[in-house]
Structure 1
Amino acid sequence: MQPLRPDEPRQLGPYRLIAALGEGGMGRVLLGIAPDGRLVAVKQVHAQFAHDPGFRERFRREVATSRLVSGAYTAAVMDADPEAETPWLASVFVTGPSLKEAGPLPVDSLRHLATGLAAALLDIHRAGLIHRDLKPSNVLLTDDGPRVIDFGIARAVEDGQELTGTGAIIGSPAFMSPEQAGTAPVTPASDVFSFGALMVMAATGQGPFTGTTTAQTLYNVVHNQPDLSAVPPEIRRFVEPCLAKNPAHRPTPAQLLDFLGHVPPGTTPWPEHVHAQIRRQDAEVRTALSLPLPAWQPPPPKPRPAKKRRRWIWAVSAAVLAVALVAGTVTIYRVAQSAKAERDAPPPLSIQDALTPERLLRADPCKVLDSEYTPDERPVYTHRCKYTGTKGVEFDLVLGDALETTGIRTSPTVIDGQGVLLNDISGGCEAMVRLPTRPQSSVMIYNSSRDGDPCAIAETAMTEALKRLRDPVVDRQTWPGSLLPVDPCSVLDDATAQKIVGAAVKPAPQALRRCEWAAQDTLSISLDHGAPDTEGEEVDIGGIPVRRKETNSSGSKLCALAWVHVKPSAREGDNVRLTYYSATGGDACAKAEEAAKAVIPKLPKP
């Protein structure tokens, strides 16, 4: 536990902050006090994620689902603000060292650990989540058993294509599953593989696949059998099947609990040195609480979108009638002009043309729902808009994001020939329609309310959205050289991508305005509108001032470049963000700059 830095806030939301607990790949963890006196662990997200709209979207949705997890062996999420300038998350604070700090454990403690971890995974999977980053630093040893932290939130970092605590994408190399290390779909069985690797480390002090480099460790995870020679036989019996390369051959958390049986009540779970660490942490917390606390300030209320004035049809009709009585000739002329304008207006698009990525890039999401839906007056994202419907029901409309397949089901509803998919595991409901030419992406409406039938309400809004998307009236106004109509997957040809990444790769859209080229290394390009990046050193690339920031972690490197392409207003501009991740520690910035030099000539001229 460390004192707060001078530049750190003393309050986030309603929580007063009193000390720093640690820092990871996603953010800095701070000790806070709730207004009712409870202690909380507040994770403040790193600024690099806050600038990524895709990360914010995933963070919001994963936080909502994570709140459904409430088991004896998890640290429950209490509060969060994904829309804050720097997003944060508050969870229940518990004292105890991480498994990483505990050292090898005896057999009795290993059985306590296995039972607690299996129960935690059962609760997490029941909520529709996959942890994806089960590693020693995400398991705390408390007086009455283990606690799993950061459940589900690792997904947000994955979709942001940033680094976790060990510097690897989507988890920690020594504890990730072969599916995560490769390209296969990730399922709850992936967490069971991580459970097995974690148990080996807890028994021996070393993971079963650890190599001399990150690349060697990943190769061992995918291709080599684990080294279990030092694992006690009674532990090896249930750990070995968890480490099967084929996910279908691994046991489920429920099967593990059946095998492990009941833990005798009243037994001390850990060796004495672990309980001594817990007592020391308790004393540190008491010391921190004895110091003068920062004054509590009520958090400012979140502004609600202004209500749109109703269109009083009877008043308009009366006005038209009055004009007709006074100046019939003028009225007839105007009606004729209106009819001509209607004849000359562009015809509505077919639903297939309306749902292409090229069309959605042009669409303003805050014009897609009308009449009974009031859009946010100052939307944060260019591909998403928040609406308030009747009786205060709130919707999020998202254009072109990657389709999340976990927990979805097919609705009997068909809208304009398009099938609807539903996901209601978070308590509200998401209604989604696949893009015909990009079925891994969708138009989505998220109804966060649990009142009535959330899915029926979301489907009604989706009917209105698909109708409006066919109308050219929803096209946004752009400016010369604007990046908003540009597909980020189109700014790099296959040959150039292969030369830079070092393998034959195809562009993979991650969101409407973000694309990546992934092999062993990963190149990601985002074209969007908003506040420019100000972090990193300024360098010149092709005569353009570019912000460059490099991050090194565990032998891997990440280089991020950002520059303003067009700046139509004083505060915001069309921004290019380009990142290159090297798993083997190559010169990531040289690769990123090579990609930038290839991309710049393909962007529209201002």
Structure 2
Amino acid sequence: MKPLNPGEAWQVGRYRLLASLGEGGMGRVLLGASPDGRLVALKQVHPGFAHDEGFRSRFRREVETSRMVSGAYTAAVMDADPEADIPWLASVYVPGPSLKEAVDAAGPLPLESIRYLATGLASALTEIHRVGLIHRDLKPSNVLLTDDGPRVIDFGIARAAEGNTDLTHTGSVIGSPGFMSPEQAEGKSLTPASDMFSLGALLVMAATGQSPFAGNSTPQTLYNVVHTHPNLAMLPPPIRQLAEPCLAKDPAHRPTPAQLLDYLGAVRYASMPWPPPVHAQIAQHKEEVGRFLAKPPPPPIKPGAGNKRKRVLITVGAIVATLILAGGTVFAVSKLTSDSTNAANRPPRNPDPLSLERLQMVDACKLLDPNSIPLLGKTTVPENNSFGTCQYQSPTGGKLMINLGTNTTGDPLPRASYIDEHPVREMKYNEKEGPACQRLVQPTELKSVLIGANVQNNSGDICQAAQQALITIVGNLKNDPAQLPDHEGSYLGSDPCTALDDATANKILNGKAIKERHDLHSCTWSSEYQTIGFGLTFGDKSDLKGTSTNVNGTEVHEERSNDPKNNICHHTWLNTATDSDAKEVLDTYYSPIGNVNRDQSCAHSLEAAKAIIANMSKK
């Protein structure tokens, strides 16, 4: 633990920085304190990651999932900012040495300490794997020892660095050579069994002081991991029986965390689970923290001081620019004035990434990568999806349906968790294909429309898979999601509830119409016992059924229900103003309850369709 460098920033986010805890391949770790006094280990990632948007996206997704991990043997993630100039995350501070530091100070651990360590590691992996994460970098420096057991840190974060071409090269992998699995060393797809291999290597290291695959160089160590049997000759038999099954080359032959816990059975409680030198290190860590906490905090910034500094910097920058670029000064000032004037005349853009106008244009079938939801496996996207929705198919036969604007009615759904500031609701039900679970998040602006992830007939925890999908979806929506093509004449980005004017709706319904957005691309107007609906879907001419009529140059098709008890009537037409192959099918319907005949229903539906076509021609 070292003091901060002179002139170094003393605050990140809402955390006051106290000291430096160390540096590694992913970045550096700082000791911080939150406003309520809780201590955090704040990791600032390597500056080389900051310019990589792919890293930021992966980092955001992994952090959100890591927040779901709980349990006595992990250091919970408390906060993060993937959008900061240098992305960071804060987890609960653990006062104690790493496993490496402990073994360096005390030598190999005794049998009972290793059983204690194995129980804690298996319990931590149980929690990490429960939410669909794979640690990927379980090594001695990512295991901390405390008075009441081990803590696993940095779970799920190593994956965020994968694919960063500036910090890795072709054929390289993220991880620690002596503690990674053979499949990780070869760059293959990973399963939770990869972490169990690392656990076995950690137990060997704790008992002997070194990895069972240690070589004279990194290439030699990686070769040993993939091709040679581990060196277990120095292990006491009880520890060998724990470690050897974990170190099987074939992932299918390794035990799960639950099986390892069953084998270990009940571990006897110990007030001092580690050798005395390790507990002395823990006490030293606590004393050092106390000394840094006792130092007076930096003086508070005076109100307005930050703005004043910004104004001074802008002024100095302007002077320098004038001296260097004297010939272009008039142009630069006049352009800035012109842009500012134009910006003032433009309508304000909604900054909410989950607002109606942003969600309407998102391509739902490009929100998820094939491997972004570990609990679903590698997903594929069948054809015939519509605007704002997409169905992903799991290789195990499960389905994930994304709906960027689903309407909810009836009793409020139970709250399952939060994603950022948004409450998450849950709905479970059964279908012919099997059980289903839907997790829904409420955007701040849209009161009757939610973003949903619905998992059906999937092996494993379907609600956890839905939560994992929803976290990824929201994170990608807040980043820079792929957009649907914005064609000239498209009605896709318009508010469907403005398609029909209130006066016409009130006239058709013979009363005050109650307007409600049904989803991103449809709306209803209701009065007592009757409803007018309007919606936009993807399709072509083959989707138009029934007889046709001409409405101001638009071919409109009338379709009547075949059910004698159902007097609903639809009018549909194509938006031919777009030059896209992805045609927009517009649908208006009138739905009565009571004594209204089919002809009257169709007359009301056609009247609404005429008004909507007239309104569209004005846009």
Q: 1:188: which partner in 2?
A: 192
Give 1:403 shift.
3.7
CA, structure 1 residues 467+285, in 2 after alignment: closer, same or farther (shift >3 Å)? closer
Amino acid at match of 2:73: Y
2:97 and 2:282 in contact (8 A); partners too: yes
Q: 1:225: which partner in 2?
A: 229
2:55 and 2:164 in contact (8 A); partners too: yes
CA, structure 1 residues 467+83, in 2 after alignment: closer, same or farther (shift >3 Å)? closer
> Structure 1 length as normaliser, TM-score?
0.56
Give 1:184 shift.
2.4
Q: Distance in 2 between matches of 1:130 and 1:184?
A: 14
Q: 1:124: which partner in 2?
A: 128
Deviates more, 1:394-403 or 1:56-65: 394-403
Q: Distance in 2 between matches of 1:197 and 1:180?
A: 14
| Correspondence for 2:484 among 449, 455, 469 | 469
Task: Show CA shifts across 1:441-486 (max 9, x none).
Answer: xxxxx99762465467357999x999973554599xxxxxxxxxxx
CA, structure 1 residues 83+296, in 2 after alignment: closer, same or farther (shift >3 Å)? farther
Q: Distance in 2 between matches of 1:134 and 1:466?
A: 32
Q: Distance in 2 between matches of 1:178 and 1:52?
A: 28
1:237 lines up with 2:258 in the alignment: no
2:363 and 2:484 in contact (8 A); partners too: no
Amino acid at match of 1:421: Y
1:388 lines up with 2:359 in the alignment: no
| Correspondence for 2:451 among 448, 457, 464 | 457
SS of 2:144's partner is strand
SS of 2:252's partner is helix
Task: Show CA shifts across 1:50-82 (max 9, x none).
Answer: 110000000001110000011100000001111
Q: Distance in 2 between matches of 1:268 and 1:48?
A: 42
Task: Show CA shifts across 1:533-575 (max 9, x none).
Answer: xxxxxxxxxxxxxxxxxxxxxxxxxxxxxxxxxxxxxxxxxxx
Task: Choose 1 or 2 for highest CA Rg.
Answer: 2
Give 1:290 shift.
1.1
2:46 and 2:86 in contact (8 A); partners too: yes
Give 1:243 shift.
0.3
CA, structure 1 residues 471+154, in 2 after alignment: closer, same or farther (shift >3 Å)? same
| Correspondence for 1:416 among 371, 382, 385 | 385
Unmatched 5+ stretches in structure 2: 305-348, 395-399, 405-418, 427-437, 441-449, 455-469, 491-619
1:9 lines up with 2:9 in the alignment: yes
1:117 and 1:195 in contact (8 A); partners too: yes
Amino acid at match of 1:95: P
Q: 1:493: which partner in 2?
A: none
1:367-406 correspondence runs (5 A)? 376=351, 386-389=353-356, 403-406=371-374
Give 1:232 shift.
1.1
Deviates more, 1:189-198 or 1:285-294: 285-294
Q: Distance in 1 between matches of 2:161 and 2:192?
A: 18
CA, structure 1 residues 412+401, in 2 after alignment: closer, same or farther (shift >3 Å)? closer
1:207 lines up with 2:211 in the alignment: yes
CA, structure 1 residues 281+416, in 2 after alignment: closer, same or farther (shift >3 Å)? closer
Q: 1:498: which partner in 2?
A: none
Give 1:231 shift.
1.1
Q: 1:305: which partner in 2?
A: none
Q: Distance in 2 between matches of 1:181 and 1:230?
A: 25
CA, structure 1 residues 240+18, in 2 after alignment: closer, same or farther (shift >3 Å)? same
CA, structure 1 residues 293+260, in 2 after alignment: closer, same or farther (shift >3 Å)? same
Give 1:30 shift.
0.5
Q: 1:315: which partner in 2?
A: none
Task: Show CA shifts across 1:157-209 (max 9, x none).
Answer: 12335669xx9632101000011011321000000000001111110001011
1:118 and 1:254 in contact (8 A); partners too: yes
Q: Distance in 1 between matches of 2:217 and 2:8?
A: 35
Give 1:389 shift.
3.5
CA, structure 1 residues 270+459, in 2 after alignment: closer, same or farther (shift >3 Å)? closer
Q: Distance in 2 between matches of 1:178 and 1:420?
A: 34
Amino acid at match of 1:28: R
Q: 1:62: which partner in 2?
A: 62
CA, structure 1 residues 61+296, in 2 after alignment: closer, same or farther (shift >3 Å)? farther
* Identical residues among aligned pairs (%): 58
Q: Distance in 2 between matches of 1:375 and 1:401?
A: 27
SS of 1:141's partner is strand
Give 1:127 shift.
1.3
| Correspondence for 1:175 among 175, 179, 200 | 179
SS of 2:212's partner is coil
Task: Show CA shifts across 1:502-541 (max 9, x none).
Answer: xxxxxxxxxxxxxxxxxxxxxxxxxxxxxxxxxxxxxxxx
1:119 and 1:257 in contact (8 A); partners too: yes
1:408 and 1:421 in contact (8 A); partners too: no
CA, structure 1 residues 227+291, in 2 after alignment: closer, same or farther (shift >3 Å)? same
SS of 1:62's partner is helix
Residues paired across the two proteins, number: 375
Q: Distance in 2 between matches of 1:205 and 1:430?
A: 49
Give 1:6 shift.
2.5
Q: 1:152: which partner in 2?
A: 156
Q: 2:296: which partner in 1?
A: 292
Amino acid at match of 1:469: L
1:73 and 1:119 in contact (8 A); partners too: yes
Give 1:293 shift.
1.5
Q: 1:407: which partner in 2?
A: 375
Q: Distance in 2 between matches of 1:466 and 1:149?
A: 30
Task: Show CA shifts across 1:313-341 (max 9, x none).
Answer: xxxxxxxxxxxxxxxxxxxxxxxxxxxxx
1:67 and 1:77 in contact (8 A); partners too: yes
1:135 and 1:198 in contact (8 A); partners too: yes
Amino acid at match of 1:450: V
CA, structure 1 residues 6+116, in 2 after alignment: closer, same or farther (shift >3 Å)? same
2:148 and 2:271 in contact (8 A); partners too: no
1:203 and 1:231 in contact (8 A); partners too: yes
Q: Distance in 2 between matches of 1:299 and 1:233?
A: 66
Q: 2:95: which partner in 1?
A: 95
Q: Distance in 2 between matches of 1:19 and 1:178?
A: 37
Amino acid at match of 1:270: W
1:471-490 correspondence runs (5 A)? 471-472=486-487
Give 1:5 shift.
1.4
Q: 1:139: which partner in 2?
A: 143
SS of 2:28's partner is strand
2:29 and 2:41 in contact (8 A); partners too: yes
Q: Distance in 1 between matches of 2:233 and 2:143?
A: 24
1:16 and 1:296 in contact (8 A); partners too: no
Q: Which has the higher contact order (CA 8 A, sep 6+)?
A: 1
Give 1:392 shift.
11
Task: Show CA shifts across 1:348-404 (max 9, x none).
Answer: xxxxxxxxxxxxxxxxxxxxxxxxxx7659xxxxxxxx4423999998976685642
CA, structure 1 residues 161+195, in 2 after alignment: closer, same or farther (shift >3 Å)? farther
Give 1:416 shift.
3.3
Instruction: Report the aligned-residue RMSD.
Output: 4.1
SS of 1:17's partner is strand
Q: Distance in 2 between matches of 1:37 and 1:474?
A: 56
Q: Distance in 1 between matches of 2:401 and 2:14?
A: 29
CA, structure 1 residues 411+160, in 2 after alignment: closer, same or farther (shift >3 Å)? closer
1:394 and 1:449 in contact (8 A); partners too: no
Task: Show CA shifts across 1:566-588 (max 9, x none).
Answer: xxxxxxxxxxxxxxxxxxxxxxx
